[in-house]
Structure 1
Amino acid sequence: MNRAARRTVSRLLMGAWLLALWLLLWGRIDALTLAGGIVVAAAAYWASRLPAVPLVRKIRPLRVVVVVAEFLWDLLWSSIVIGWHAVYRPGRVRSAIVDVEMRSRSPLILLGVTTSISLRPGTILIDLPSEREVLRIHAMPVYDQQDADAKRAGVEQTEARLMRAFVTWEDSPPEEDR
């Protein structure tokens, strides 16, 4: 599928989503409500230049399960670590700003990575340049370079897992999956 076709399909998907929301708000489906929804969705697109919905070329369900399990484990473990530091070492917890280079150019993968790290206790996204090549995160606890490298590696692993689970048009699959 070429870029123009992907863009058209993604815009049609966003238009369908807006139409579905319109119909849900009205609570009924008839010819007038449907026609009004189409007009409103087209006007919203024209007036606001809504972004295209990122398309996925291939979804690997077992890899998605791994991504979800990894996220849940990270959520549990980071909660335990941050809770322990908050109770037993509240004045001695150190943090750092860590830069993480992104391999993916897909907005979908970027959204998954930033959401995942921001939902985990102890990390939060603090800067995302418009080029989307480097994420700057605030991480804790970080006491030395080894801890900072471990935080960076954790974000890179999350990105790699997402790239294996959702093969996007912007990215090629990681080397081991070719």
Structure 2
Amino acid sequence: MKVNDRSARKPRRHAILVQLPLLLALVAFWLVLWGHVDVISVVTGIIFSVIIVEVFYLPAVDLSGRINLWWTLVFFVKFMYRLVSASFIVAWLAFRPAKPPLGSVVSVQLRTRSDFILTLTAEVNMLIPGSMVVEVDRMHSVLYLHVLDASTDESVESVKALALDVEEGLALALGTRDDLWRVNRDRVRRGLGSIGQSPAQKKHEAIRDKQFAHDTPVVVKGSSAGASTAKEGRA
């Protein structure tokens, strides 16, 4: 009975640890509103923060627990370049002597299944001038972007490539090994090379590739009844 009680407490402890940064941020915000720090304001801030977290509960977003400083620096440099270049492009579209640009809503299918990477990818695309996230399909990891001057197929594909590149950069800098495996699986399918191939990442991807091949159904030509399906690797 005690073992079951301990195992039941583990998810609760994990949820508390995940919500701890939010609690601290709410307490800090409460203290800023009061304008001074004393025992009463701190205690009341903690009480109200706990009430807010419990009443307005949101699903906890699990962080990857890893950060690659090199890829974070690379991502920051690329982001600043895109930020500046997109600003000049939007300014040119606003002042050029021509018709207003034709905007489009572009759907971008992301590869990762992490709420953390999905949120950051949406936020980064929101910060780049000329694009705005109008909807997020969390269940299928799809972003819907409203983009200026996306009237041709080439410009639409360019928007998709930019959003996917943002996702790749975030997966390299902050994502889990499984996030990076999903990105690399798509890159290989498109004829591109894998990225972030450390020894640990290669080992993880080899294991996940075997699992994926084992669970993927394939069509096996059967009798006159038609085609039957079997698990790949079991046929």
Report the TM-score range of the alignment, normalised by the length of the smaller protein. Answer: 0.7 to 0.9
Q: What's the offset of the Cα at 1:160?
A: 0.5
Cα distance per residue 1:30-78 (max 9 Å; x no partner)? 2x33332222222222222145354231011222222221111111111
Cα distance in 2 between the residues matched to 1:62 and 1:87 = 38
1:161 to partner: Cα distance: 0.1
Counterparts in 2 of 1:19-38, with a 5 A limit?
A: 19-26=27-34, 27-30=36-39, 32-38=40-46
Counterpart of 1:111, as a letter, is T
Amino acid across the alignment from 1:47: V
In the TM superposition, 1:7-86 aligns within 5 A as 7-26=15-34, 27-30=36-39, 32-52=40-60, 54-86=62-94
Change (3 A) 1:148 1:16: same
Unaligned 5+ segments in structure 1 are: none
Partners of 1:46 and 1:25 in 2: CA distance: 21
Distance 1:41 1:93, change over 3 A: closer
Judged with a 3 Å threshold, the aligned counterparts in structure 2 of structure 1 residues 29 and 91 are, in CA distance, closer, same or farther, namely same
The verdict on how the C-alpha distance between 1:80 and 1:11 changes in structure 2, with shifts beyond 3 A counting, is same
Question: Is the partner of 2:179 in helix, strand or coil?
Answer: coil
Moved more, 35-44 or 155-164: 35-44
Work out whether 1:141 is the aligned partner of 2:149: yes
**What's the secondary structure of 2:66's corresponding residue?**
strand
> 1:78-113: CA deviations, max 9, x gaps?
122222222224415233221110122222222221
Q: Distance in 2 between matches of 1:9 and 1:15?
A: 10
Paired residue for 1:162? Answer: 170
Q: 1:59 to 1:88 in 2, by over 3 A?
A: same
Instruction: Label 1:53 to 1:19 Cα distance change in 2 as closer, same or farther (>3 A).
Output: farther
How far is the alpha carbon of 1:139 from its aligned partner? Answer: 1.8
Bigger RCO (CA 8 Å, 6+ sep):
1
Paired residue type of 2:69: P
Taking structure 1 as the reference length, the TM-score comes to 0.82
Aligned to 1:173: 180
Q: CA deviation at 1:132?
A: 4.7
Question: SS of the residue aligned with 2:145?
Answer: strand
SS in 1 for 2:78: helix
Per-residue deviation at 1:168? 4.3
Judged with a 3 Å threshold, the aligned counterparts in structure 2 of structure 1 residues 65 and 40 are, in CA distance, closer, same or farther, namely: same
Coordinate RMSD, CA, aligned:
2.4
**1:54 and 1:85 mapped to 2: Cα distance?**
40
Matched position secondary structure for 2:99: coil
Tell whether the 8 Å contact from 2:86 to 2:129 is kept in structure 1 after alignment: yes
